[in-house]
Amino acid sequence: MLRPVGNIFDSKDYPDLLVGLSEPDDAAIWRLDAKRALVVTTDFFTPVVDDPYDYGSIAAANSISDIYAMGGQPFLALNIAALIPDLPPEFNAEILRGGAEKAREAGVVIAGGHTIQDKEPKYGLVVLGFVDPKKMLTKGGARAGDALVLTKPLGFGVTTTALKQDKASPTDLAEVVRWMKKLNKNASTLALEFSLRSATDITGFSLLGHGSEMAAASGVKFMFFVETLPFVSGARKYAEMCTFPGGMYDNQQHFGPQVRFGPEISEETRNLLFDPQTSGGLLLAVPRKKLTDFLKRAEELEQAAWVVGEVAAGKGIEVL
Per-residue pLDDT of the chain (320 residues; tens, 9 = 90+): 878 887 888 888 999 999 998 888 999 999 999 999 999 999 999 999 999 999 999 999 999 999 999 999 999 999 999 999 998 999 999 999 999 999 999 999 999 999 999 999 999 999 999 999 999 999 999 999 999 999 999 999 999 999 999 999 999 999 999 999 999 999 999 999 999 999 999 999 999 999 999 999 999 999 999 999 999 999 999 999 999 999 999 999 999 999 999 999 999 999 999 999 999 999 999 999 999 999 999 999 999 999 999 999 999 999 99
In this prediction, residue 133 carries a pLDDT of: 97
Domain ranges of the chain: 3-131, 139-319
CATH level 2 (architecture), domain 3-131: 2-Layer Sandwich (3.30)
In this prediction, residue 22 carries a pLDDT of: 84
3-131 shares its CATH topology with 139-319: no
For the chain, the straight-line distance linking the first and the last C-alpha, in angstroms and rounded, comes to 35
Q: Which fold has domain 139-319?
A: Phosphoribosyl-aminoimidazole Synthetase; Chain A, domain 2 (3.90.650)
In this prediction, residue 46 carries a pLDDT of: 96
- Show the 3-state SS of 289-316: HHHHHHHHHHHHCCCCCEEEEEEECCCE
In this prediction, residue 9 carries a pLDDT of: 87
Using a CB cutoff of 8 Å and minimum separation of 24, what contacts does 19-24 make?
19/70, 19/136, 19/138, 23/138, 23/139, 23/140, 23/217, 24/139, 24/213, 24/216, 24/217
pTM: 0.96
For 202, 246, 319, the CA distances from 2, given in Å and listed in that order, are 22, 22, 31
- Show the 3-state SS of 191-224: HHHCCCCEEEECCCCHHHHHHHHHHHHHCCEEEE
In this prediction, residue 12 carries a pLDDT of: 87
In this prediction, residue 192 carries a pLDDT of: 98
How far apart CA 62 and CA 182 sit, in angstroms, is: 9
How far apart CA 301 and CA 305 sit, in angstroms, is: 11
In this prediction, residue 5 carries a pLDDT of: 83
How far apart CA 219 and CA 144 sit, in angstroms, is: 9
